[in-house]
Amino acid sequence: MQELLYAAGMAFLIAILCGPLLIPVLRRLKFGQSIRQEGPQRHYAKAGTPTMGGIIILIALLIPSLFYSGKSAEVLLALFVTFGHGLIGFLDDFIKVVLKRSLGLKARQKLVGQIIMAAALAYIAAVYMGRGTDLWIPLLGIQLDLGPFYYILIFLVLVGTTNAVNLTDGLDGLAAGTTTIAALAYGAICLVFGKFDLAVFCVALAGAALGFLRFNAHPAKVFMGDTGSLALGGALAAVAVMTKTELLLVLVGGVFVVEALSVIVQVISFKSTGKRVFLMSPIHHHFELSGWSETKVVTVFWLAGIVCSAVALLVLTASKSGGFGG
């Protein structure tokens, strides 16, 4: 268990040390965030804040994950998926910030990258690692063999999680804090299933995100950008797939799910009726425009993340006797 503390502590320390070194570089390179015109007016003051800070998280995650995990196949696969999505996010950020193309990567270009990540994750986990194509249904103690449809599920889990975390990254410290909470929860889940190496990866992810939060909390000195948000989503999705807890991820990442659903509901409502359900989506902006301060929104959402993770762990405890324990 000491390795878990060491991994989390090392990741946190690396992030703390990397911040003062990397942030001035991003500022000198003029990797500044642009703020969308339709967003809350108070966000205009954030224009020019360095972005692509997700690089800090990735560096802080990599070293302790390799050092304390024994470089197991599962951890290497999780790192591959995480850094693969980080690369997609970096290219998107680079095109938007440096090349000044506001839309970044085209949707189909992102999709190709995510298909590659999903295919690699699904094949290696299901075939090479022998995890099979079963879907564990919590509480019911059922393992449902989805056959080839399992690979479609993996793709949906990856795309859904990465995009949900990306949507959550709209306020200072919101995505970093909620990811820290979710990663710690998944560290506990990995321990329940006897996956110590993956637990090391999870606590290192939590430590890296928490260390990044030192510079990303309000008022943020740096933003993670798509480099960070896509990588964080990929990391959580990869762990969920390798622990066969894809459905449990919906609970652990409850805040991310609500953020994504708020956008879907808003778009459907506006296109079908011409009316908006929320003042603005994702839903964290709705609360901002309702008069909440940014720090209040973030704090409440962090608390919601803690509750979601606690519920997920309770469901796991109640399900373990009849669920997936491999």
Instruction: List all residues 6 or more positions away from 52 whose beta carbon is below 8 Å from its beta carbon.
Output: 26, 31, 90, 93, 94, 97, 223, 224, 225, 227, 228
Instruction: List all residues 6 or more positions away from 108 whose beta carbon is below 8 Å from its beta carbon.
Output: none
User: CA-to-CA distance for 295 and 293, rounded, in angstroms?
Assistant: 5
Mean pLDDT in the chain? 90
* pLDDT at 206 > cutoff 60: yes
Q: Cβ atoms within 10 A of the Cβ of 274, count? A: 7
Domain holding 72, by residue range, is 1-322
Q: How sure is the predictor about 132, in pLDDT bands with cuts at 50, 70 and 90? A: confident
**pLDDT score, position 323:** 42
Q: If you average pLDDT over residues 79-106, what whole number do you get?
A: 87
Q: Lowest-confidence range among 129-133, 239-243, 249-253, 301-305?
A: 129-133
Summarize the chain as % helix, strand, coil (round to 5): 70, 5, 25
95 in Cβ contact with 34 (< 8 Å): no
The structural domain count of the chain equals 1
Q: Lowest-confidence range among 79-83, 139-143, 152-156?
A: 139-143
* pLDDT at 198 > cutoff 90: yes
302 in Cβ contact with 178 (< 8 Å): yes
**pLDDT score, position 41:** 58
* pLDDT at 217 > cutoff 70: yes
**pLDDT score, position 126:** 82
* pLDDT at 127 > cutoff 50: yes
Tokens of 85: 């999505």
Q: If you average pLDDT over residues 99-112, what whole number do you get?
A: 79
User: CA-to-CA distance for 187 and 70, rounded, in angstroms?
Assistant: 16
Read off the pTM.
Answer: 0.92
**pLDDT score, position 111:** 85
166 annotated binding-site participant? yes
Q: If you average pLDDT over residues 286-296, what whole number do you get?
A: 94
* pLDDT at 173 > cutoff 90: yes
What percentage of residues in the chain have a pLDDT greater than 70?
Answer: 93
**pLDDT score, position 259:** 97
Q: How sure is the predictor about 106, in pLDDT bands with cuts at 50, 70 and 90? A: confident
30 Rama class: left (phi>0) / alpha (psi -120 to 50) / beta: left
Burial code (b: 16+ CB inside 10 Å, e: under 16) for 162-196 equals bbbbbbbbbbbbbbbbbbbbbbbbbbbbbbebebb
130 Rama class: left (phi>0) / alpha (psi -120 to 50) / beta: left
